[in-house]
């Protein structure tokens, strides 16, 4: 079953995250944290044992953004940068604009573009109408 694979990835990510915290390994943390969160989000996004195309693209983009953002944040030489970037110290700017804000826009964009294909389809609407006795008007 597809869920088993993601549960195993979730377990490995959690173990690596724990090791990174105990051993104080920031690069391992930068790799394990996005893996753990994306595995968790993928489990939540599975519908009918698959993840929709828009969700897949969104999760892959989010994973790439987080991996790159956390690695840059951990590997950059903070002593070289003494100015500001968009009003913040470079590390804080990376955290706010890349790791927090960019995924928000990517996720929201994919959610809006693919909603009727990935999140709510005709079968879901018919099942809802049958259970509630109400008619859904999508006009």
Distance of alpha carbon 25 from alpha carbon 37, whole angstroms:
18
pTM: 0.78
* pLDDT at res. 10: 92
* pLDDT at res. 1: 56
Distance of alpha carbon 58 from alpha carbon 124, whole angstroms:
22
Q: How high does pLDDT run on average in the chain? A: 86
Cα–Cα nearest to 58, from 115, 14, 16 = 115
* pLDDT at res. 66: 93
Q: Would you say 117 and 52 are in contact if contact means Cβ atoms under 8 Å apart?
A: yes
Find where tokens 């006009």 sit.
139
Q: Band of the pLDDT at 25, cuts 50, 70, 90?
A: very high
Give the domain ranges of the chain.
2-121
* pLDDT at res. 139: 62
């Amino acid at each position: 079953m597809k869920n088993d694979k993601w549960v195993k990835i979730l377990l490995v990510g959690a173990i690596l995250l724990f090791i990174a915290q105990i051993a104080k390994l920031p690069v391992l943390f930068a790799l394990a944290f996005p893996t753990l969160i994306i595995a968790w989000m993928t489990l939540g996004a599975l519908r009918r044992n698959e993840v929709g195309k828009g969700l897949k693209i969104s999760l892959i983009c989010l994973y790439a953004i987080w991996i790159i953002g956390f690695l840059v944040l951990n590997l950059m030489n903070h002593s070289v940068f003494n100015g500001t970037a968009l009003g913040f110290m470079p590390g804080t700017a990376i955290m706010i604009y890349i790791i927090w804000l960019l995924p928000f826009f990517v996720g929201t964009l994919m959610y809006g573009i693919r909603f009727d294909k990935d999140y709510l389809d005709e079968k879901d609407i018919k099942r809802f109408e049958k259970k509630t006795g109400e008619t859904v008007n999508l006009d």
